[in-house]
Amino acid sequence: MKIGILALQGSYYNHKHYFEQIGVETLLVKKPEQLDEIDGLIIPGGESTAIRRLIDRYHFMKDLKSFCSSKPVFGTCAGMILLAKENIGYPTHIGVLNVRLKRNAFGRQVHSFEETVHLKDIGDVEGIYIRAPYVEVAGDEVDVLGKHKDAIVAVKQNNILATSFHPELTEDYKIGKYFINLVDKYIKGE
């Protein structure tokens, strides 16, 4: 199994380190053709507008759309924004995750916070929210995995996993292992 990390801008080194600690092989994806070499993709945290500019300039969009429509993908923070079908007041990017998302939903950086969040089928995980988005409305096929108060902060839709928070800034590997399990099932065709 090889996990690719979209390495355009943002926390991709942290994701690489995070998944290496779990013990899986990783690849920093810098060219669209590298998507063919991987079994699952991480879209990291970062600035979604900056990542989007680089996606366009390096002709990633077509291949990303096709990858994210069929294979396992995990987006954190900016990654969630890039996957969402609707970003309130802002453009849609890859648009495969059927949610209505609010950007910078908890406020500016001074309101960024840490708090443990309980996730369905996973347990309590360390949540680090940095100018984070949250899901305002989730479509019928979307499984809500966790909430911070009333805000939806973790979702799963078939092979797509997305969180408002940043597991890659922690040593809490539960959600990473959950994603690896998704990839494993995908490879085995389950």
Binding site for other proteins (CB under 8 A): 8-14, 45-47, 49-50, 52-54, 57, 77-78, 90, 103-104, 108-115, 128-131, 166, 169-170
**Strand 40-43 with 73-76, pairing:** parallel
Per annotation, catalytic residue among 15, 77, 93, 148: 77
Give the nearer residue to other proteins in terms of CB position, either 101 or 182.
Answer: 101
Give the nearer residue to other proteins in terms of CB position, either 108 or 188.
Answer: 108
Q: Closest approach of Cβ 90 to other proteins, in Å?
A: 7
Per annotation, catalytic residue among 15, 86, 93, 168: 168
Taking each helix axis from N to C terminus, what angle separates 12-22 and 174-187, rounded to the nearest 10 degrees? 80
Taking each helix axis from N to C terminus, what angle separates 61-70 and 48-57, rounded to the nearest 10 degrees? 110
Question: Does 166 qualify as catalytic in the annotation?
Answer: yes
Distance, in Å, from the CA atom of 27 to the CA atom of 173, rounded to the nearest integer, reads 18
User: Which residues are known to be catalytic?
Assistant: 77, 166, 168
